[in-house]
């Protein structure tokens, strides 16, 4: 896989926050939730057990590119083997206190770079998922969509002895926010093709080397255009898909707030900068807004006692997600 140049090279974490969180939150309350849009990155989901890409504890990665995925069967086999090993970590993750606080704030909308669906699961709406959804798979030929869990079940059926052969414990393997596990030995892993047309199946995500759907970008730009404040939560803004909206908000004179514990490509555009943990910042904002007390994950029905996705029937039929 190609090595992606680090867009944060040369940037450093601010030595201190620009303002106390209490002052930042007071400004946001003055603007009002109905005039505020949030932009979320991987840092929002770290408290749910999903690692981020560029946080203080993140490991260097060489992510799969769209070009590499299409290059040949060995590359696709490698991708799906690693995704198969890492899927359970994503499937069993649940919204954390930050997700629940964000949902309770009732903002004008959320733009998310995350593909884990935890903001949706927490009840945030409307949400524009800029980078797609990990719980869906799309055929590159006929464009039919399928449940990611169905693909997982099919891969398990096709590779019953894979873990024994490579002698690894999936629970000890590090995985990326998209479920890509750090697995070197992937030879012989069998992949599944589209059951409708035999075409190539790909996660319904924006890979490196792909562009965000133009209609999604237009919808997101329209949402930001109506906002008086944009709050960046847990994103380094390393890729243009998020940074473009910070630039737009700054250009139109909206309040730009960035909360993440690390450098970002948008620091010079921020009116106010917090270095707090994303969950802590959101919980404090939620409390200051006078919203109802946050339910514990157990009370909200979000405890870690069952996977989010449907399991396929013993007949092995592929449940289509085209209508979702």
Q: How does DSSP classify residue 172?
A: G
Kindly tell me the sign of the dihedral angle through the C-alpha atoms of 68, 71, 72, 76.
positive
Residue 288 CA to residue 174 CA, distance in Å, equals: 37
Instruction: Pull the structure tokens for residue 318.
Output: 């592929």
Query: What's the first-to-final CA gap in the chain, in angstroms?
Result: 32
What is the b/e burial string over 54-66, where b = at least 16 CB atoms within 10 angstroms of the residue's CB? bbeebeebebbbe
- Measure the CA dihedral 293/24/36/100, to 10°: -30
> How would you write 42-81 as a 3-class SS string?
HHHCHHHCCCCCCCCCCCCCCCCEHHHHHHCHHHHHHHHH
Strands 272-274 and 145-147, by their bridges, are: unpaired
Q: Which DSSP string corresponds to 104-146?
A: HHT-SEEEE---S-HHHHHT--SEEETTEEEEEEEETTT--EE
131 is catalytic: yes
Contacts of 292-295 spanning 24+ positions with Cβ under 8 A: 292/104, 294/97, 294/100, 294/101, 294/104, 295/100
Q: Which of 269, 276, 275, 234 is nearest to 249 (CA)?
A: 269
**Which listed residue (19, 35, 131, 171) is catalytic?**
131
Report how far Cα 238 is from the mean position of its chain's Cα atoms.
Answer: 14
* Residues annotated as part of the active site: 131
């Amino acid at each position: 896989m190609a090595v992606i140049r680090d867009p944060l090279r040369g940037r450093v974490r601010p030595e201190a926050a620009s303002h106390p969180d209490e002052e930042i939150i007071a400004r946001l309350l003055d603007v009002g939730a109905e005039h505020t849009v949030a932009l979320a990155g991987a840092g929002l989901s770290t408290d749910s057990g999903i690692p981020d890409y560029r946080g203080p504890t993140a490991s260097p990665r060489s992510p799969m590119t769209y070009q590499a995925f299409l290059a040949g069967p060995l590359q696709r086999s490698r991708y799906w083997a690693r995704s198969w090993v890492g899927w359970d970590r994503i499937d069993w993750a649940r919204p954390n206190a930050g997700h629940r606080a964000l949902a309770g704030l009732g903002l004008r909308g959320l733009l998310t770079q995350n593909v884990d669906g935890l903001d949706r699961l927490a009840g945030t709406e409307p949400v524009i998922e800029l980078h797609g959804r990990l719980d869906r798979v799309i055929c590159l030929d006929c464009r039919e969509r399928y449940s990611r869990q169905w693909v997982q079940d099919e891969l398990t059926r096709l590779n019953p002895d894979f873990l024994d052969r490579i002698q690894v414990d999936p629970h000890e393997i590090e995985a990326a926010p998209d479920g890509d596990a750090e697995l070197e030995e992937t030879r012989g892993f069998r992949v599944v093709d589209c059951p409708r047309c035999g075409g190539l199946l790909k996660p319904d995500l924006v890979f490196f080397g792909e562009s965000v759907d133009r209609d999604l970008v237009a919808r997101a730009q329209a949402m930001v255009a109506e906002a008086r404040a944009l709050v960046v939560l847990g994103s380094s803004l390393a890729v243009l898909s998020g940074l473009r909206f910070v630039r737009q908000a700054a250009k139109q004179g909206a309040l730009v707030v960035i909360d993440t514990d690390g450098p970002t490509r948008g620091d010079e555009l921020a009116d106010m900068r917090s270095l707090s943990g994303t969950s802590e910042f959101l919980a404090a904002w939620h409390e200051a807004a006078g919203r109802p007390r946050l339910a514990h994950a157990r009370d909200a029905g979000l405890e870690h006692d069952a996977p989010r996705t449907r399991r396929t029937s013993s007949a092995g039929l592929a449940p289509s997600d085209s209508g979702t």
